[in-house]
Structure 1
Amino acid sequence: MDLNSLDSFITIVREKSITKASHMLHITQPALTSKLKKLETEVGVQLVERSKKGVELTIPGTSFLVKALKMVREFDSGNILDQDGDFFHSTNLNNNLKIGITRPLATSLLPDILSSINEFDPNLKCNITSELTDLVLDLVLFGELHFGIVCYCKPQEELEFIPIYKDDIVLIGPKSDSNPLDKKKLVNKPFILFNKSLPLRHDANEILLNMLGEIPENIQEVNDTYALISMISSGLGYSFLPLSFILDFVQLRNFNKTESYDMLPFKITNLGKYSPPRYIHIVYAKNRSTNLPIERLAEFIKSSRDRQKNMYIS
């Protein structure tokens, strides 16, 4: 199995047509069909089938699409995924309402979202996929999810974004620091930031330039939220996180919400004018036909509660 075969498969699914995909990939239709059959032989299942609507994914094909998208994205970021995993263990993309949510928002936001959906229609059953933002957006665009709940990301022409939470970025650091926004001292402090392939690193760099006029030299990189929080909690440096990520950390540890910020093993400091405006969005494909009222449901979720309060430090 190679990345070229995965890319061909993804293009076929996106275009819902081998003919259109062959034009996109600049190869002949028989060659693309042969490549698809070879891939199906390698993975041992039928990935797509032809219907009146064009080429459609089979159930195992849907599971494989998620894996294929992950492998292509990991390759683009320089890390090849272990390909020995089970492609077809199970899929949660084949039931009534299919929702994708960005990690690590699931713990903090899903209960409220699911409560709103139940209020909208008690008969709706939900299947949840928790993945990286780019993968959630791909699955929404491909029609494999009805909608996604994602962190701030660049708008896309084929997707509709509805903001549902304001999600400020804050500074986190040692609890012993009585004046964390002292710029002269902060520029010389150690920072622990996401690696450069992740969108939050761009936000962090922008904040640092606006606050300090330069990027500090002492920076360690991580690619995992909980590793970052663990390092900050141990007093190893400073970082920037959206409040939604911190709320997720709070709920995973069963802190009482009204006391949670005082109980955290690090200090949270609002950045005020230095925090770029960020929102958590519901996102759905503009031109995907469905028998579910996705637009009305998204607006209902947005308006059903005052969500702003959950994302602010009192």
Structure 2
Amino acid sequence: MNLEDLESFITVIRDKSISNAARSLFISQPTLSARIHRLENELQFKLIERSNRGIQLTKEGMYFLPYATRFLASINNVNTVLEQDEQQGRKQTFQQVVDRDNKLIIGIDSWLAPTLGKLILQQLKQYNVNNYRIYSHPSSIIKYLFDLNQFDIMIIYNDEHKEYEFSTPAIEDQEVLLYSSERSDMQSDFYRNLDQLKKLPCIIFDNPVLVEHSKFTDEFMEVLDISEFQLVDNFDVFIQMVELDLGYTIMPISSILHLLPMFDNHVMKVSYQFSDVELSSHFVQMVHNKNKLDLFPSEHLVQNIYQSYLDIQRKR
């Protein structure tokens, strides 16, 4: 995807016209139009429409715009770091950012990070591992980067059952229904409770929404015949909506395991019930590679994190 095309698209929306955007970018209108068409052809959907009211975003364009903006901002941030002037006194900071040879690099799925993050840090502390970096991304990105030797350890959802040379056994996940504890009409019957909750929207948490964990969300929405939903891409907002009885949700227990004590002790006004719905199995898996085994006890770290997670899960 061409960065100039993305910038041109964003500039057209900002300036609200092709002519104004062309002047801002110091290019001709035909050149700008060609860039927009090229981007639309690559994406295979229309981004903008021209009308008497000027430039209007299509529905697809409205969804695409924040991600295009975020992507360009990320590229600009990378350029800012890489172009640091040594006289600014940031050379040492830059070296710490880019130096990976002597660091243990860990990737963890963004849904698993809140639950497993503390377990990882406890093990790193126990083994006196001080040079490390932890990245939180969707499993698809982590797996891709792991295959490119960019991670030494990864903790992911491995629903595809891909085999890795050095990995723990896969841990089968379980779905949990979350709803506001302010509700007094809930019973032990899962489906009866769900019928009550369906008067509210189902809250779908994902970032990007409808993408990285869509296999899970698509399945339970189809099986449970859920038609009304609210999309949220921030976990804190997601939980707050449940607390305020603005909706309900179903999540893998691995993603909210760290919150269950607060639910049980009424620190957070959220109740939960284990799902009776038969959905496809989802699996959590921890993997390490042979890199840096002379520097870090990667195998022991992974095994201990795995065992600690199993212990917490069994208590539930």
TM-score category of the 2 structures, normalised to the smaller one: 0.5 to 0.7
Match of 2:267 among 263, 270, 273: 263
Counterparts in 2 of 1:138 and 1:93: CA distance versus 1, 3 Å? farther
Gapped regions of structure 2 (runs ≥ 5): 5-60, 82-93
Instruction: Give the secondary-structure state (helix, strand or coil) at the position aligned to 1:235.
Output: coil
Report the CA distance shift for 1:298/1:154 in structure 2 as closer, same or farther (over 3 A): farther
Answer yes or no: is the 8 Å Cα contact 2:139–2:157 preserved in 1: yes
* 2:216 paired residue number: 203
- Distance in 2, matches of 1:126 and 1:145, equals 11
* CA distances 1:225-257 after superposition (whole Å, capped 9, x unpaired): 22222222221111112223324457xxxxxx4
Query: 1:209: Cα distance to partner?
Result: 3.8
Q: Which residue of 2 aligns with 1:178?
A: 186
Note the aligned Cα RMSD (angstroms): 3.7
Match runs of 1:30-109 below 5 Å: 78=64, 79-80=67-68, 81=71, 82=73, 83-87=75-79, 88=81, 90-91=97-98, 93-109=100-116
Deviation for aligned residue 1:273: 4.9
Q: Deviations over 1:163-212 (max 9, x none)?
A: 4655422111122041363154444442111332132x3323323444x3
> Using the alignment, how far apart are the partners of 1:187 and 1:147 within structure 2?
40
Query: Following the alignment from structure 1 to structure 2, what is the Cα–Cα distance between the partners of residues 102 and 93?
Result: 20
Partner Cα separation in structure 2 for residue 104 and residue 297 of structure 1 = 23
Quickly say closer, same or farther: Cα 1:294–1:233, change in 2 above 3 A: same
Greater alpha carbon shift after TM alignment, 85-94 vs 217-226: 85-94
Structure 1 residue runs of 5 or longer lacking an equivalent are 5-74, 251-256
Q: TM-score, normalised by structure 1?
A: 0.58
Q: 1:238 aligns with which of 229, 243, 248?
A: 248
Deviation at residue 124 of structure 1 after TM alignment? 6.7
Aligned partner letter, 2:202? F
The 1:272/1:263 distance shift into structure 2, 3 A limit, reads: farther
Matched to 1:192, the amino acid is I
Which amino acid in 2 is paired with 1:85? N
1:191 to 202, 207, 225: 202
Report whether the alignment pairs 1:128 with 2:137: no
Q: Which structure: larger Rg?
A: 2
Find 2:143's aligned residue among 132, 137, 144. 137
CA distance in 1, matches of 2:276, 2:240: 25
- The TM-score, its normalising length taken from structure 2, stands at 0.58
Q: 1:91 to 1:103 in 2, by over 3 A?
A: farther
How many residues align? The count is 229
- The range that moved more, 257-266 or 169-178, is 257-266
Contact 1:190 1:237 in 2 (8 A): yes
